[in-house]
Amino acid sequence: MRWVLRLPHPTGVLQRALEPRPGECVLEIGPGLGQAATSVATWIAPQGRLDVLDVQQVMLDETMRRAERMDIDNITPTLAAAEEPLPYPEASFDAAYLSGVLGEIPDRQRTLNELHRVLKRGGRLVVAEIAGDPDFVPFGSLRRQAALAGFELDRRLGPSLAYMARFLAV
């Protein structure tokens, strides 16, 4: 299934959902081959910083190689499992996003709780999901779990079978 990661990413939609601004600190969980990461890092450059966290070193290596090829130097990789406490202090990030990742994480609620902790109040969380992915997270269950973690739905782009949902950490 690795070829799936090579399909073009809807970066325009991600930009609309995430609204990254130059100078912001942003977190991506599960960057895969780094397609979204290199776009986001460019949008927040030159002062902004993107942290990418993945449970597989090979994915972090792919992301960093891609960034190097594109002369992008504001990405910091971290090897960790997202169901563990995230290795960042509270209120570290202006925004965070996960694309096709949440359903692969064994304890989704814990990850959402942790994302709430590391985001600044009012910070944005964008979750992208597409049906057909064996780990697809239905929008309704995401919304319920996000609310339990302290997130408020701000908007959803796309239909319920291929959505990007944006929440605010309240």
Ligand X SMILES: C[S@@+](CC[C@H](N)C(=O)[O-])C[C@H]1O[C@@H](n2cnc3c(N)ncnc32)[C@H](O)[C@@H]1O
What residues make contact with ligand X under the rule CB under 6 A?
5, 29-32, 54-56, 59, 81-83, 99-101, 104-105
The distance of closest approach from Cβ of residue 59 to ligand X in the complex, given in angstroms and rounded to an integer, is: 4
Handedness of CA 44, 48, 53, 59 (dihedral sign): positive
Contact of 120 with 86, CB cutoff 8 Å: no
The distance of closest approach from Cβ of residue 33 to ligand X in the complex, given in angstroms and rounded to an integer, is: 6
CA distance 87 to 153: 25
Contact of 68 with 139, CB cutoff 8 Å: no
The distance of closest approach from Cβ of residue 4 to ligand X in the complex, given in angstroms and rounded to an integer, is: 7
Give whole-number Cα distances, 50 to 39, 93, 153, in Å.
Answer: 10, 9, 23
The distance of closest approach from Cβ of residue 67 to ligand X in the complex, given in angstroms and rounded to an integer, is: 14
Between 77 and 100, whose beta carbon lies closer to ligand X?
100
CA distance 107 to 37: 24
